[in-house]
């Protein structure tokens, strides 16, 4: 067997330590010999000397954890230079394999290298990497595979389970009632009856689907529960298409309600509207009490270090699964004046780093405080789809009880730490589901 059979992970420390520990454990479990500089955090002998020896003499591939911050670090650049020299020595033009965690400007020495994309999910990137190592690069498995050091590192950096129950708060708002009837009006019928629709409506064909009722000759109406189940045969609308139409109506009803409460809107990169606490909403601590789940949180404030204001916000999406519900996603936005959210890369960078020290409990309490304020402490909000037709949404969000808890550590305020946090996406970890 070739002497070179190790995978060397080059990464920025400490920014990419978490990913490197995760990746190293996965590769070691798959049977590969893995080297990276995070094990030296455990102490022991001259790890740095062994690390360089592994890069120069044992590595058959170098896995470069690549994002803009990592490729700008001098230590990573030094390893790229050594790896490039080794590649020339052993005649391997694909010795360095970039693992793309985010956008980056490739240094000259690896500008030609084909990367493996981890930016859309670590699991999908790992699957692609393992396939390439086995089928394309023919990397041999270790004769003495060992996961001991990687298991130890995961234990050191992992979170500890505690034997005490914990109440888990989802981001699902269950729907109690939907409108009974839905209507369809053709444009010609509306004009001839001199009717102007003012409630949420969705264009379809030569007219509109809405819950708004008018005595318009020739108009169509149906029970909403029927058309959501089997479609609207009279109009040739299949049930799947009908669910999409009603989803748009429900989302518009929620947006109108959020707007009526004085929230500002901001269009996210994916086209969704984020609704956020602007300068004309409370800047004091907002208390909440949802049947024994009590607390208080501030939903907007100022960052002295960054010279901006920060604002809690949400995006909302109507979903149909086993039950209809609204899914809320917590957001963090920034402004200079409390009125206009900052767009572009600056906001994106701050959004990824500003709340790095905020633990899940903080995001949870902010959502609960937001909803308590939004509903004026009531257990029901009504989203009006027409003057006599609304969606009744239950509060608080669905909650569950876990028999064990996870130790999260102390909550850290970014402005109190005096440090720049690594750019990792630390938005809410509230219970979530993708359809």
pLDDT surpassing 60 at residue 425: no
What pLDDT was estimated at residue 418?
31
Which percentage of the chain shows pLDDT scores above 70? 84
Q: Whole-model pTM?
A: 0.63
Whether 199 and 183 have beta carbons less than 8 Å apart is answered as no
Q: What is the domain-level CATH number for residue 97?
A: 3.40.50.10140
pLDDT tens per residue, range 94-134: 999 999 999 998 888 888 888 999 988 898 899 999 999 99
Structural domain boundaries, residue 345: 169-177+249-417
- Mean pLDDT on 279-295: 91
pLDDT at 196 over 90: yes
Query: Cα 60 vs. chain centroid, distance in angstroms?
Result: 35
User: Using CA atoms, how far apart are residues 55 and 74, in angstroms rounded to an integer?
Assistant: 16
- pLDDT confidence of residue 41: 43
In a shared domain, residues 118 and 173? no
Q: Which of 133-147, 247-261, 279-293 has the largest mean confidence?
A: 247-261
| 261 and 341 within one domain | yes
Percent of the chain scored above 90 by pLDDT?
A: 59
118, 253: one domain = no
| SS3 call for 290 | strand
Query: From residue 209, how far is each of 190, 217, 317 by CA, in Å?
Result: 12, 15, 19
pLDDT band at 400 (very low <50, low <70, confident <90, very high): confident
Domain membership of residue 426 (yes or no) is: no
How high is the mean pLDDT of the chain?
Answer: 85
Instruction: Give mean pLDDT, residues 307-336.
Output: 91
Phi, psi of 64 (to 5 degrees): -95, 110
Return the minimum-mean-pLDDT range out of 1-5, 305-309, 375-379. 1-5
40 & 96 share domain: yes
pLDDT at 151: 67
215 belongs to a structural domain:
no
Residue 433 predicted with pLDDT over 50:
no
Q: Is the Cβ–Cβ distance between 161 and 311 less than 8 Å?
A: no
């Amino acid at each position: 067997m070739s002497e070179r059979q190790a995978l060397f992970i080059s990464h920025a420390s400490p920014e990419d330590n978490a990913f490197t520990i995760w990746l190293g454990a996965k590769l070691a479990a798959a049977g590969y010999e893995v080297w990276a500089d995070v094990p030296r955090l455990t102490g022991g002998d001259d790890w740095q000397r062994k690390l360089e020896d592994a890069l120069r003499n044992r590595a058959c591939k170098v896995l470069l954890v690549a994002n803009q911050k990592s490729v700008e670090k001098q230590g990573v650049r030094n390893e790229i230079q050594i790896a490039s020299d080794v590649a020339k020595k052993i005649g391997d033009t694909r010795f360095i394999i970039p693992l793309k965690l985010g956008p980056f400007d490739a240094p000259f020495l690896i500008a030609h290298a084909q990367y493996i994309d981890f930016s859309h999910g670590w699991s999908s990137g790992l699957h692609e990497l393992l396939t390439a190592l086995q089928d394309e690069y023919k990397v041999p498995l270790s004769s003495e595979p060992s996961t001991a050091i990687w298991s130890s590192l995961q234990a050191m950096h992992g979170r500890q389970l505690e034997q005490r129950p914990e109440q888990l708060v989802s981001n699902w708002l269950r729907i109690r009632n939907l409108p009974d009837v839905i209507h369809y009006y053709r444009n010609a019928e509306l004009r001839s009856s001199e009717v102007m629709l003012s409630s949420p409506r969705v264009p379809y064909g030569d007219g509109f689907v809405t819950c708004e009722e008018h005595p318009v000759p020739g108009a169509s109406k149906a029970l909403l529960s029927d058309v959501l189940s089997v479609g609207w045969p009279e109009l040739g609308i299949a049930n799947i298409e009908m669910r999409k139409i009603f989803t748009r109506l429900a989302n518009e009803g929620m947006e109108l309600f959020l707007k009526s409460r004085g929230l500002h809107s901001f269009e996210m990169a994916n086209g969704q509207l984020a609704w956020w606490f602007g300068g004309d909403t409370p800047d004091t601590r907002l208390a909440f009490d949802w049947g024994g789940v009590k607390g208080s949180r501030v939903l907007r404030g100022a960052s002295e270090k960054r010279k901006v204001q920060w604002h809690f916000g949400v995006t909302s999406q109507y979903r149909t699964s086993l039950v209809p519900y609204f899914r809320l996603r917590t957001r963090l936005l920034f402004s200079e004046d409390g009125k206009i959210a900052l767009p572009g890369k600056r906001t994106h960078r701050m959004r990824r780093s500003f709340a790095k020290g905020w633990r899940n409990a903080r995001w949870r309490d902010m959502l609960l405080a937001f909803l308590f304020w939004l509903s004026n402490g009531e257990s029901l909000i009504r989203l009006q789809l027409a003057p006599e037709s609304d969606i009744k949404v239950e509060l608080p969000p669905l909650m569950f009880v876990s028999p064990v808890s996870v130790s999260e550590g102390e909550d850290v305020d970014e402005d109190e730490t005096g440090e720049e946090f690594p750019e990792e996406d630390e938005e809410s970890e509230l219970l979530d589901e993708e359809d």
